Amino acid sequence: MNFSEERNKRTAYIESILQRYLPPAEGYQKIIMEAMEYSLMAGGKRLRPMLMWETFRLFGGQGRKIEPFMAAIEMIHTYSLVHDDLPAMDNDEYRRGRKTTHIVYGEDMGILAGDALLNYAFETACSAFDDEETDPVQAGRALQILARKAGIYGMIGGQVVDVKESGHAVSGETLDFIYRLKTSALIESSMMIGAVLAGADKDQVSAMEKIGEKIGLAFQIQDDILDVTGNEEDLGKPVHSDEKNEKTTYVTWKGLEKAREDVARMTEEAVKELRRFDAPDDFLEQLLVSLVGRKK
Amino acid sequence: MNFSEERNKRTAYIESILQRYLPPAEGYQKIIMEAMEYSLMAGGKRLRPMLMWETFRLFGGQGRKIEPFMAAIEMIHTYSLVHDDLPAMDNDEYRRGRKTTHIVYGEDMGILAGDALLNYAFETACSAFDDEETDPVQAGRALQILARKAGIYGMIGGQVVDVKESGHAVSGETLDFIYRLKTSALIESSMMIGAVLAGADKDQVSAMEKIGEKIGLAFQIQDDILDVTGNEEDLGKPVHSDEKNEKTTYVTWKGLEKAREDVARMTEEAVKELRRFDAPDDFLEQLLVSLVGRKK
């Protein structure tokens, strides 16, 4: 298997799912569908739906019942970026080299496009109840995870503390809390939902939650490292922004060497956990490893 | 039955449900729970959960399985007000005589509190899947309605067109579209979900959707009338705001007399439809009629 070819193939598959689940741009409210598409189709690694699909396969999941949830998790990730970029939040005019949603559509539509994506994520996931192949109890469990991990005990909770504590130094404990909620929660959600819809049992779903947490932390710490060591061209965003904003990061907290070691260690632990399960191929393992060495 | 006493009793019951389903204010992210409570417990008619409960009773629903959905619909209504009040939207500093959420907690927390309430609405509704008395297929159907009617084909869709068309005159057709989506959709949702969870059949749920649409329109037109004829004290907000903003309303479109006639006619039609069903008492009918004569 050529990993990078396989990854591109899977990314293209995910993009086609996203496109399929986007609402057609029509009606008096057409502009909101356009803003949703603009933000959702802006590129990106598609890591969350990719992890969801791979975990679904890991537990022998078959068919297309996972697809609405793959679209839903990416919609939730995207809405969080759209609202995060707003003037009252990070006030960013560019993301991935393109103008942010509120710059193109106006601040009011930026707020509404984020709301629309979050709501449409649930609307999309709820289409699972119309699919005869999907057990409604499993769909209900998946929805509970989707909602919980995106909310105040997950992503929003992390976002709140990040916003509240910005502009001054924070403790390592607080930083850890922010990373676990802001970044790990959606990755845990992706892997847990993949497992649930494939019919995995409770212990298996818990194992995926733990793996997701480690991957999320490693991913976020690698982000901190890249802000110090990366270059603007690879990243598509300015570097040294944390230093400029006097932000506490994993690198300022533990130093660059220790941060690198921790990314490697957490990834290794995640891979070790993963090997307890009988994967159909080594794509998922390679994907996790690739996140350590990533330059963007 | 003394209607106004009964109504107060039911309002108190709904307030107790909302309080029970609010997350406790604790943890690093405590401030967001406080902002959620501040906005959710700011009073109001509690019309949507009240209509949901009454429709649930109309179809013989029993027990408490409707309660998470009653809390959820009010959370969705509340988040829409919180985001609507933001500086980039209506820029309102007061609502119901109290400072708006973003004035008290800051604009960033205003955005996040709205997001949190929307997300928590789904999280709350999803708790239905843990309730052994709730059929997961019915819960799934109720969730589909909740998501659809709050989204781009419902409330958000109406909001988008309202924002986009503000500052200039709109056609009667556009106004009708805005009212049906912005106001009727959540009322339809409330009555449909009440029916679904009580085990009503498809035709009965459709009948509730039609009644909800009429009530929503009558409710919104009465709002337009009160902006012309009401007083600030009763309403808890400035009057003649539509005129000031040169807004097209049902009153500017059809005139005050015709608007009044239409509110009465639509309510009458809704009541007539309702009488096809065997209500346990006349509270629901009286509630609908009370909305025509309301001064606030």
Mapped onto helix, strand or coil, the DSSP state of residue B65 is coil
**Nearest to residue A179, comparing CAs of A188, A192, A190, A168?**
A188
What is the nearest CA distance from B153 to chain A, expressed in angstroms? 8
User: pLDDT tens string for chain A (296 positions)?
Assistant: 799 999 999 999 999 999 999 999 999 999 999 999 999 999 999 999 999 999 999 999 999 999 999 999 999 999 999 999 999 999 999 998 899 999 999 999 999 999 999 999 999 999 999 999 999 999 999 999 999 999 999 999 999 999 999 888 999 999 999 999 999 999 999 999 999 999 999 999 999 999 999 999 999 999 999 999 988 877 777 788 887 777 899 999 999 999 999 999 999 999 999 999 999 899 999 999 998 878 88
pLDDT (0 to 100) of residue A230: 86
User: Which residue from B28, B111, B153 is facing A83, i.e. has the nearest CB?
Assistant: B111
Q: Which residue of B has its CA nearest to A173?
A: B28
B152 contacts in A (CB within 8 Å)? 23, 29, 32-33, 36, 116, 119-120
Longest dimension (CA), chain A: 55
Contact B94, B100 (CB under 8 A): yes
What is the nearest CA distance from B25 to chain A, expressed in angstroms? 11
Binned at pLDDT 50, 70 and 90, residue B234 comes out as: confident
pLDDT (0 to 100) of residue A240: 82
Q: B293 pLDDT exceeds 80?
A: no
B147 contacts in A (CB within 8 Å)? 119, 122-123, 126
Domain B3-293 = CATH 1.10.600.10: yes
Binned at pLDDT 50, 70 and 90, residue B191 comes out as: very high
Q: Which of A135-139, B226-230, B272-276 has the lowest mean pLDDT?
A: B226-230
Sign of CA dihedral B70, B76, B81, B82: positive
* CB contact (8 A) between residue A31 and residue B111: no
Half-sphere exposure of B169 (CA within 13 A, CB side): 5
**Helix boundaries (H) for B85-201:** 101-105, 107-126, 136-150, 155-164, 172-179, 185-197
Binned at pLDDT 50, 70 and 90, residue B94 comes out as: very high
Q: How many CB pairs under 8 A join A and B?
A: 168
Q: One-letter amino acid identity for A269?
A: E
Tell which of B123, B132, B193 to mutate to test the A interface (max A CBs under 10 Å). B123
State the average pLDDT over residues B268-274.
97
Q: Provide the whole-model pTM.
A: 0.97
B118 contacts in A (CB within 8 Å)? 115, 118-119
For B22-40, how does the pLDDT look when each residue is reduced to its tens digit (9 = 90+)?
999 999 999 999 999 999 9
* CB contact (8 A) between residue B111 and residue A86: yes
In terms of C-beta density within 10 A (0-12 exposed, 13-18 middle, 19 or more buried), how is residue A293 classed? exposed
User: Which residue from B108, B114, B123 is facing A151, i.e. has the nearest CB?
Assistant: B123
Cα angle, residue B249 at apex, residues B246 and B251 outer, rounded to 5°: 110
* CB contact (8 A) between residue A109 and residue B174: no
Tell which of A81, A91, A127, A143 to mutate to test the B interface (max B CBs under 10 Å). A143
Q: Residues 6 or more apart from A201 whose CB is under 8 A from it?
A: none
For B162-181, how does the pLDDT look when each residue is reduced to its tens digit (9 = 90+)?
999 988 899 999 999 999 99
Strand pairing of A98-99 and B94-95? unpaired
Interface check for A259 against chain B (CB to CB < 8 A): the answer is no
User: Which residue from B79, B119, B181 is facing A150, i.e. has the nearest CB?
Assistant: B119
Q: How far apart are CA B144 and CA B4, in angstroms?
A: 33
Q: Which of residues 57-86 of A touch B (CB under 8 A)?
A: 79, 83, 86
Number of C-beta neighbours around residue B28 at 10 A: 18
Binned at pLDDT 50, 70 and 90, residue B241 comes out as: confident
B111 contacts in A (CB within 8 Å)? 83, 86, 88-89, 111
What are A71's two structure tokens?
């679209």
A148 contacts in B (CB within 8 Å)? 123, 126
State the average pLDDT over residues B78-106.
96
Q: Which of residues 107-126 of B touch A (CB under 8 A)?
A: 107-112, 114-116, 118-120, 122-123, 126
User: Which residue from B29, B112, B126 is facing A140, i.e. has the nearest CB?
Assistant: B126
Interface check for A215 against chain B (CB to CB < 8 A): the answer is no
